[in-house]
């Protein structure tokens, strides 16, 4: 799954937060990262939904930062 942010400075902190949440994460570009959850929380759709909720909660704490999560 991919997370695209509108702020290049936010990608590093997002990667750290996702790693703390037991995800395997690698930076894909200046504004994006690729995420693989390490905890089995169901099928791909469940993982995608969980990542979308995580990204929404994470960006809600950072005014001006937006995230788009894609499969």
pLDDT (0 to 100) of residue 40: 65
- Report the CATH number at residue 36: 3.30.70
For 28-58, the pLDDT digits (tens) are 999 999 999 887 667 889 999 999 999 999 9
Handedness of CA 3, 9, 10, 13 (dihedral sign): positive
pTM, rounded to two decimals: 0.92
Q: Considering its fold, how many domains does the chain have in total?
A: 1
Q: Whole domain around residue 8: which residue ranges? A: 2-70
**How many beta carbons lie within 10 A of that of residue 23, not counting itself?**
21
pLDDT (0 to 100) of residue 41: 65
Handedness of CA 55, 20, 11, 4 (dihedral sign): negative
User: Measuring CA to CA, which residue among 12, 10, 32, 34 is closest to residue 23?
Assistant: 34
């Amino acid at each position: 799954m991919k997370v695209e942010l509108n702020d290049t400075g936010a990608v590093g902190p997002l990667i750290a937060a996702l790693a703390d949440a037991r995800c395997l994460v690698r930076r894909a570009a200046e504004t994006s990262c690729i995420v693989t959850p390490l905890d089995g929380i169901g099928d791909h759709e469940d993982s995608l939904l969980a990542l979308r909720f995580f990204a929404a909660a994470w960006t809600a704490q950072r005014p001006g930062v937006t995230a788009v999560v894609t499969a």
